[in-house]
Each structure stands twice: as structure tokens, then as C-alpha cells.
């Protein structure tokens, strides 16, 4: 039965119900709705609207519903109710008759839905924090497994300077650390309770809003009833958090797709996260990574959609706001799925250290080291730069790294080059010279990895 039938003489059209009803998707907030209702029943009982006995009957019935909601046993498909709020009230009324019909005293679906959704968002933020920490754990463990591997670092997708593999892993760790801190900020900022704001102007019953807020795990009540029922900033922020983090996952996926390609061959992905081709038997495609990249579209879309929905809305509640949910539910689900599959992909990684080193060497990143070596022998830098350039040209012609040229060959470019040049041309030498904090040298990378492993263990 509709929650608002009295003023109407005719019923809703089927098409109106299709556009208006939200039970098909807001049923996901059943547990939050029931928990909010338990606290509301206590609040109005304290003002004398319900007797102690009535409140206890309501709370017991709501607890029964909560158990069913959490077990996935509520039969939404068979319900004719408009939304989750109507569904819960109908279930109570069916069980308790008029007592069930008292629960909505002093409350509106406007403060109710705002409370439910905040509870839902907050709980999912907590889960997503766990998901993000799991990705950090997988990244630090793959970094530890392949801590000696050196691979090319890129700018413009051209080999630029070699980096240690853990350094690459820890770059993404920094991004996921920021994603975590953004979610923590969001939790702190949104942790205010709308319940008691009524439809828009506040409730006439003298409920203790601070106490209501605390019982639902909020820090304090929302301070303005008009804002409380019509604020969806917390959903937008959640969608921004999801979008930014999906962008990070997508960039990581893109790097790994390339590392896994036949051309690079730096990593191999597990059979558990790849798929084959129906036509080409030799193929093993990085589908999980491609979907982490591909699903960004719908998540970014949900952020954009809600921004546009909200932008022209006058105060306070408007039904447009019912459109806040499906995109957010989907974005959270996709983000959770992508964070989870990211762990499986990372855990499955095997590395070909030799191919990585070969590719790193072929970039001639040690040409600068050669010039510096000549400078140390007393040659002016400009001349040394020129000599080193000629050496690169000769090595390129032979399709070899500089260090594969013999001493005799090298001496043709400068008689100052001695046997000790080979140490300087080593990949490790070049990488480990970058010893500054945040650099790719062995000592800063080892320290950073150790910090991260401790952080993951402590979490
Ligand atoms: N299903 C609605 C929503 O999600 C609940 C609030 C309805 N309020 C109202 N006054 N019609 O926004």
C-alpha cells in the first residue's frame, strides 16, 4: 500500500510506477533502513509517542527483519511497495498492525533516505579501505619477491632511465595511500546524521538529535535541516574517490599490459587472471587488466551524472535525488571488484629479470655515466658528451649496449678509457647512484619497501 494514499482518488499508472519506484535498487539499503528505524523508534518513544511496550515490540520486529535482511531473506521481488522505506513499514504493519503505523511519526522519507544512504556509504568506505590496503599488501609482496629486478623506466613510452622494480611498485603504493587518505577524509566529513530533520524543516517532536546520531555511529547531527535532507556531497566525494582510484588502477593496468606484451616480456600473468582467444590458440590475453582500465568509463560516468543531476536543484529535497543511488552502488561495486582482481593479478605476476635488464641496458641510459667517467679523467664535459655520443652511435650500429663493446673498441673514441669503465657502465651502478630520498637507488628503495611492509603488517 502506498505511504501517501489519502489525498489521492486515482491510482498510479504503470508507467509512473516504473519511473518512480526505487525498491528494485534501494533494497540494497534494507539493513541501514532498519537500523535507522530502530533508533528512530527509541527517539520518539522518549518523547512519549510510543509506550515502552510499543517501542519494544517495534524494536523486536525490526531486529527480526534485520536478521532476514542480513541473510538476504527478504522477498523484495514479491513486494508491490514503492521503495525500501515503504517495504520496511509494510512488513512492520503486517506484523504489528497499528504499532507499525506509528513508527513514521515525526520522520520523513527525506531525512530517512539521507540517513540510510550515509550509513551505506560509510560502511562501504570502511570495506573499500580494506580493499585498498589489500592492494598495498600485494604490491609490497611482489616488490619483495622481485626486489633485485631492474627494468626500464619510461617517459613518452620511450626508455628513459632504469629503475628498480620495487620502485615501480611503490609508485602505485603512493597513489593508493592517497586514495586511502581521501576516503578517511570523506568518512570524517560525512559523519553527521540527518535523522530528525524531518521533510525539510526539522521535526516537531523534541528528540535528542545528538543521541540519535551517536547511536547510529555518527559524530554529531547535521546542523541544518534544509541542507541535511538535500546534501549529496558525500556521494559525489565517494564517486570522486572511486574515479581517482580507478584512474590509478587503470594506469597500473596499462603499465602491466605493456610489461606483459610480447614486445616487452618483462612479466608473465597467471592463467587465473587471463583468457584465451576463440580463434588464435596461442593467445593469452590480459583481460582482467583491460577491464580494470575499461571499467573507468562507467565509474567516471557516474560521477559526472550525479554532478549534473545535482547542479540545478533548488532546496530542499527533489525526487531527482533518487537518481543518486544506482550510479553510486555500481561505482562502489566496480571499484571493489577492480581492487580485488588487482590483488589476484599482482599476486600472479612472474618476472623475466633477464629481459628486464636487457631492455634497461638497450636504452643507453649509461651514456651520461660514460661522459661523467671521462670528466673524472680530466676531459671537459662538452668533449666528454661528444665522445660518449659517438660511442652510443657505434653501439647502436652493432645493436649492442655500450658495455658490450670491447676495451679496444672503446679506446678508439678516447685513450683515457680504461678497464675500470665497465664498473661505471653497470646497470646497478647507474641505478644505485640515485641514492636520494625518493630515488630508485638500492638504499632508498630498500628503506621505502621496508617501511611499506611494516605499514602493511601493522594494519
Ligand atoms: N526513494 C526516495 C529517494 O531515494 C525516498 C525519498 C522520497 N521522498 C519523497 N518525499 N518522495 O530519494
The pLDDT tens digits of the residues spanning 90-142 come to 999 999 999 999 999 999 999 999 999 999 999 999 999 999 999 999 999 99
CA dist 199 and 211 (Å) reads 20
Q: Per-residue b/e over 55-82, b at no fewer than 16 CB within 10 Å? A: bebbbebbeebbebbeeeebeeeebebb
Q: Of the residues 118, 322, 323, which should be mutated to test ligand 1's pocket, given the most ligand atoms within 8 Å of the CB?
A: 322
What is the pLDDT at residue 1?
A: 65
Q: 325-348 and 109-145 helices cross at what angle (nearest 10)?
A: 10
What is the pLDDT at residue 7?
A: 87
Q: Of the residues 27, 109, 315, which should be mutated to test ligand 1's pocket, given the most ligand atoms within 8 Å of the CB?
A: 109
Q: 233-260 and 165-190 helices cross at what angle (nearest 10)?
A: 170
CA 114 – ligand 1 centroid, Å: 9
What is the CATH code of the structural domain delimited by 18-105?
1.10.275.10
Matching fold, domains 110-358 and 362-458: no
Return the residue matching grid coordinates 574515479.
Answer: 243
CATH architecture for residues 362-458? Orthogonal Bundle (1.10)
What residues line ligand 1, using a CB cutoff of 6 Å?
22, 26, 83, 109-110, 113, 317, 319, 321-322
* H or E, element range at 154: strand 150-155
Give the residue, by CA position, lying nearest to ligand 1 atom 12: 322
SS3 221: strand
Are the C-beta atoms of residues 92 and 66 closer than 8 Å to each other?
Answer: no
Q: Of the residues 4, 29, 82, 83, which should be mutated to test ligand 1's pocket, given the most ligand atoms within 8 Å of the CB?
A: 83
Please report the ipTM that was assigned to this predicted complex.
Answer: 0.97
| Residue ranges in the chain modelled with pLDDT below 70 | 1
What is the pLDDT at residue 26?
A: 98
- Residues 6+ positions from 76 with CB-CB distance below 8 Å: 23, 24, 27, 87
CA 223 – ligand 1 centroid, Å: 21
CA 334 – ligand 1 centroid, Å: 25
Cite the active site residues: 156, 277
CA dist 241 and 248 (Å) reads 11
* H or E, element range at 109: helix 109-145
Are the C-beta atoms of residues 194 and 114 closer than 8 Å to each other?
Answer: yes
Taking Cα atoms as reference points, which of 227, 246, 241 lies closest to residue 124?
A: 241
Taking only the tens place, the pLDDT of each residue in 315-371 is: 999 999 999 999 999 999 999 999 999 999 999 999 999 999 999 988 898 999 999
CA dist 305 and 314 (Å) reads 17
> 87-95 — which CB contacts under 8 Å span 24+ positions?
87/23, 87/27, 87/30, 88/30, 88/33, 88/34, 88/37, 88/62, 89/3, 90/1, 91/61, 91/65, 92/58, 92/61, 92/62, 92/65, 95/61
Beta strands in 314-394 (DSSP E): 350-351
At the topology level, CATH places domain 110-358 in: Fumarase C; Chain A, domain 2 (1.20.200)
- Residues 6+ positions from 185 with CB-CB distance below 8 Å: none
Cα-Cα-Cα-Cα dihedral sign, residues 175, 177, 179, 181: negative
Cα 433-438-441 angle, rounded to 5 deg: 25
CA 109 – ligand 1 centroid, Å: 6
Domain residue limits, the chain:
18-105, 110-358, 362-458
C-alpha cell at 447: 628503506
In the chain, the N- to C-terminal Cα span, in Å, equals 48
Q: Which atom of ligand 1 is nearest to the CA of 83?
A: 1
CA 116 – ligand 1 centroid, Å: 11
SS3 158: strand
Beta bridge partners of 55: none
Cis peptide, bond prior to residue 69, ω within 30 of zero: no
CA dist 71 and 74 (Å) reads 8
Amino acid at each position: 500500500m502506498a505511504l501517501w494514499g489519502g489525498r489521492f482518488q486515482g491510482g498510479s499508472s504503470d508507467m509512473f510506477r516504473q519511473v518512480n519506484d526505487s525498491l528494485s535498487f534501494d533494497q540494497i539499503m534494507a539493513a541501514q533502513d532498519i537500523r535507522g528505524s530502530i533508533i528512530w523508534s527509541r527517539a520518539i518513544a522518549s518523547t512519549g509517542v510510543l509506550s515502552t511496550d510499543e517501542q519494544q515490540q517495534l524494536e523486536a520486529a525490526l531486529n527480526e527483519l534485520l536478521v532476514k535482511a542480513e541473510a538476504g531473506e527478504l522477498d523484495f521481488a514479491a513486494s508491490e511497495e514503492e521503495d525500501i522505506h515503504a517495504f520496511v513499514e509494510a512488513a512492520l504493519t503486517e506484523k504489528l498492525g497499528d504499532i507499525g503505523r506509528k513508527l513514521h511519526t515525526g520522520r520523513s522519507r527525506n531525512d530517512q533516505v539521507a540517513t540510510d544512504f550515509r550509513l551505506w556509504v560509510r560502511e562501504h568506505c570502511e570495506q573499500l579501505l580494506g580493499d585498498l590496503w589489500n592492494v598495498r599488501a600485494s604490491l609490497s609482496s611482489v616488490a619483495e619477491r622481485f626486489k633485485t629486478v631492474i627494468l626500464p623506466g619510461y617517459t613518452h613510452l620511450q626508455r628513459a632511465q632504469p629503475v628498480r622494480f620495487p620502485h615501480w611498485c611503490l609508485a602505485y603504493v603512493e597513489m593508493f595511500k592517497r586514495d586511502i587518505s581521501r576516503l578517511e577524509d570523506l568518512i570524517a566529513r560525512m559523519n553527521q546524521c540527518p535523522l530528525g530533520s524531518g521533510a525539510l524543516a526539522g521535526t516537531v517532536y523534541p528528540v535528542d538529535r545528538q543521541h540519535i546520531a551517536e547511536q547510529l555511529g555518527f559524530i554529531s547531527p547535521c546542523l541544518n535541516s534544509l541542507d541535511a535532507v538535500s546534501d549529496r556531497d558525500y556521494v559525489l566525494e565517494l564517486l570522486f574517490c572511486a574515479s581517482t582510484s580507478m584512474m590509478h588502477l587503470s594506469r597500473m593496468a596499462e603499465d602491466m599490459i605493456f610489461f606483459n606484451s610480447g614486445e616487452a616480456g618483462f612479466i608473465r600473468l597467471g592463467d587465473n587472471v587471463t583468457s584465451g582467444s576463440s580463434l588464435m590458440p596461442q593467445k593469452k590475453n590480459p583481460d582482467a587488466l583491460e577491464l580494470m582500465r575499461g571499467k573507468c568509463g562507467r565509474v567516471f560516468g557516474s560521477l559526472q551524472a550525479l554532478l549534473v543531476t545535482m547542479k540545478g536543484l533548488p532546496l530542499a529535497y527533489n525526487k531527482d535525488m533518487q537518481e543518486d543511488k544506482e550510479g553510486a552502488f555500481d561505482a562502489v561495486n566496480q571499484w571493489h571488484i577492480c581492487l580485488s582482481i588487482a590483488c589476484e593479478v599482482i599476486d600472479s605476476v612472474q618476472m623475466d629479470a633477464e629481459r628486464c635488464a636487457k631492455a634497461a641496458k638497450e636504452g643507453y641510459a649509461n651514456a651520461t655515466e660514460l661522459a661523467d667517467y671521462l670528466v673524472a679523467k680530466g676531459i671537459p664535459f662538452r668533449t666528454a658528451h661528444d665522445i660518449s655520443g659517438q660511442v652510443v652511435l657505434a653501439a647502436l650500429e652493432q645493436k649492442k649496449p655500450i658495455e658490450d663493446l670491447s676495451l679496444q673498441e672503446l679506446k678508439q673514441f678516447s685513450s683515457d678509457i680504461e678497464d675500470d669503465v665497465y664498473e661505471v657502465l653497470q646497470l646497478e651502478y647507474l641505478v644505485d647512484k640515485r641514492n636520494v630520498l625518493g630515488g630508485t637507488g638500492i638504499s632508498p628503495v630498500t628503506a621505502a619497501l621496508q617501511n611499506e611492509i611494516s605499514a602493511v603488517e601493522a594494519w
